[in-house]
Structure 1
């Protein structure tokens, strides 16, 4: 999951630069899903040709919904939101995913919280710390730790609006990014069901990528009629679509699906706020942006919150592993 957050942070910067140079977000998504399908298909055939379960109508519907909620909608909404805002501001909305996933999982009874034990309290405290850290990253700038600056406290959305970003576009971008957070959270919850019905990770990702490709093609034909935009121009656009298809949609979604399969949606979503941290590090190290106290404080709170949630999940697994043999022993004695 840490590797995935680094991969996605790099993608965020590449896509923002490519769209600033005129590349359509629909072209990026379409080519990304096509490349991911081509990239993963040989791996899926080689590794899972003997273990792949029979395709049923139910599994097909699950994978179709998985493609819609996990690839088509969140990508389009994220790129649209980033086009109207900034890469840093867009990445902050990924910080909402753990909270949304946690709350929806509780409502659907996919996640349990026992506030009477340490594990349950740790999960609640960890999610709250991550949320506070996300708010600090978004709203508090603070003093510059690397360059002298006259700006001390300023909301993030007022520091990054460009000349072409009107308040109306910024609001539309924020709504799109909020939709992205909800869509991706629902995808992770759905994926916990999909991996049980269709437990082959590579084949499932290939089918999801291919269905998403078909969905985006249909959306593109309805929105964008120009044929000239479908040919990438320049090294940046070519590198962006290849990286997005192989690293992010290919390797990244395999890692996400595998993490959901092994540890559940709440565990997986807990890592997503790290994207914000790595985007900030990339801005500082490669783009030479100044490092602010608010960024450091928010990142520390996010990481502490993440580790508290992970400790709670690990403690919960330990408690359940102890209770299960005891319950089996009592059942055997009763029998």
Structure 2
């Protein structure tokens, strides 16, 4: 792997690790009685507070002039990338399990690929090995996710985790007696993936005309805070439901807002600018593997044959798409275009560094 590819790769892996932690503690917070609309609203508020200082100080001298078309694109990003995406995801998570939620989120590469083609952000190239690899990898990712979601098979006897989190065990017992809608959950999770893919496409277009990821992320979260706050108040009128007690609720909101919105949005926006929307989306299968391990370790969930086989298919699909994407980028014509883009980006970063020093 080239030196220029290491940072985007590490950024996306760290992003998936952060999302994995959010899935576990968010499920516990909602099992304790927290309304998902309240959780999403707090997440956006904390993300906005965390992002504003970074956007102001890091881009105050290099920030392009804001225009109405760009502002409208940020508004669309806030709807698809935050409000709709997160509300549907958390309600879906509440009505399912972290493993199912992560499995269905792996529809993202396929949906992103389908949306990116008509916008000219990706080429199918079915006659080339690179195009065939991307298509095959996408099919493997989706197939593995479906297998993991709808087929368990026999449990694998690997013993029990030596880690016993009493709070998680007690919360799980309370939640097991509550009703969950296992039809509504998957439907909303699929809708979340479609919305998330739409944000990738909008972000890719916007990053070309307005290369200021901190500013756009801060404005996105600010707009989403207003949207989610209004929706949350309309759905949940009881003031006590907005309390951040017990502590798991406060920890979840802070973690989701700072790590999984503020930090993740900046990292994802930067990676989209460098590598494109498909490169970012194909890292989502890693989240499933990480959450499966954490669910077994912390939540005492069992591992099934379907889980293991599905995870293997997803990882194989991930690397097939990455191989195809890399093969496509090594094409002489694409290589020149990418080199020119990276030179412009490096020149911009050097200018930003010089201005920051001054």
Please report the TM-score for the alignment, with normalisation by the length of structure 2.
Answer: 0.82
> Counterparts of 1:234 and 1:164 in 2: how far apart (Å)?
19
1:302 aligns with 2:314: yes
2-structure distance, mates of 1:72, 1:216: 6
Match 1:33 to one of 39, 44, 66: 44
Q: State the alpha-carbon separation in 1 of the partners of residues 101 and 314 from structure 2.
A: 17
Query: Take 2:333 and 2:243, find their aligned partners in 1: how far apart are those partners?
Result: 54
Pairing 1:243-258 to 2, within 5 Å after superposition? 243-258=255-270
What is the CA-CA distance between 1:112 and the residue it aligns to? 0.6
83-92 vs 270-279, greater mean Cα deviation: 83-92
Matched, 1:164 2:164: no
1:290/1:86 CA distance change after superposition, 3 Å: closer
State which of 217, 220, 224 in structure 1 corresponds to 2:232: 220
Structure 1 counterpart of 2:241: 229
Find the partner of 2:211 among 196, 199, 216: 199
CA–CA distance in structure 1, aligned partners of residues 234 and 290 of structure 2: 35
Q: Are 2:326 and 1:314 equivalent residues in the alignment?
A: yes
Which of 151, 169, 182 is matched with 2:194 structurally? 182
- Paired residues, what number? 312
Conserved? CA contact 2:104–2:149, under 8 Å: no
Instruction: Tell me the distance in 2 between the aligned counterparts of 1:322 and 1:55.
Output: 31
Distance (Å, rounded) in 2 between the aligned partners of 1:174 and 1:162: 18
Alignment counterpart, residue 299 of structure 2, candidates 287, 303, 318:
287
Question: What's the offset of the Cα at 1:320?
Answer: 4.2
Q: CA deviation at 1:123?
A: 0.8
1:58 matched residue in structure 2: 69
Partners of 1:204 and 1:322 in 2: how far apart?
A: 28
Q: Are the equivalent residues in 1 in contact too, given 2:328–2:334 (CA < 8 A)?
A: no
- Other structure's SS at 1:288 match: coil
Q: Deviations over 1:66-100 (max 9, x none)?
A: 00100011111111112222222222210111111
2:141 pairs, out of 107, 115, 130, with 130
Q: For 1:39-188, what aligned pairs fall within 5 Å after superposition?
A: 39-147=50-158, 162-165=176-179, 169-188=181-200
Instruction: Write the distance in 2 (CA, Å) between the matches of 1:236 and 1:36.
Output: 18
Matches within 5 A, 1:254-265: 254-265=266-277
Contact conserved, 1:88 with 1:276, CA < 8 A, in 2? yes
Rounded Cα–Cα distance in structure 1 between residues aligned with 2:148 and 2:335: 40
The answer as to whether partners of 2:40 and 2:86 remain within 8 angstroms in 1 is yes
* Cα RMSD for the two superposed structures: 2.0
Q: Deviations over 1:110-150 (max 9, x none)?
A: 211212222111111111111221122112323333358xx
> Relative to 1, partners in 2 of residues 1:220 and 1:286: Cα closer, same or farther, differing over 3 Å?
closer
* Structure 1 segments (4+ residues) deviating >4 Å: 320-325
Contact 1:94 1:275 in 2 (8 A): no
Confirm whether residue 210 of structure 1 aligns to residue 222 of structure 2. yes
Report the Cα distance in structure 2 between the residues aligned to 1:73 and 1:243, rounded to whole angstroms. Answer: 20
CA distance in 2, matches of 1:116, 1:24: 49
State the alpha-carbon separation in 1 of the partners of residues 176 and 189 from structure 2. Answer: 18
- Which ranges of structure 2 fall in alignment gaps of 5 or more residues? 1-11, 160-174, 338-358
Q: Classify 1:238/1:174 alpha carbon distance in 2 versus 1 (closer, same or farther; 3 Å).
A: same
Unpaired runs of 5+ in structure 1?
A: 149-160, 326-335
3-state secondary structure, aligned to 1:103? helix
Q: CA deviation at 1:163?
A: 4.6
How far apart are residue 162 of structure 1 and its match?
4.7
Quick check: 2:329–2:335 contact (8 Å CA) kept in 1? no
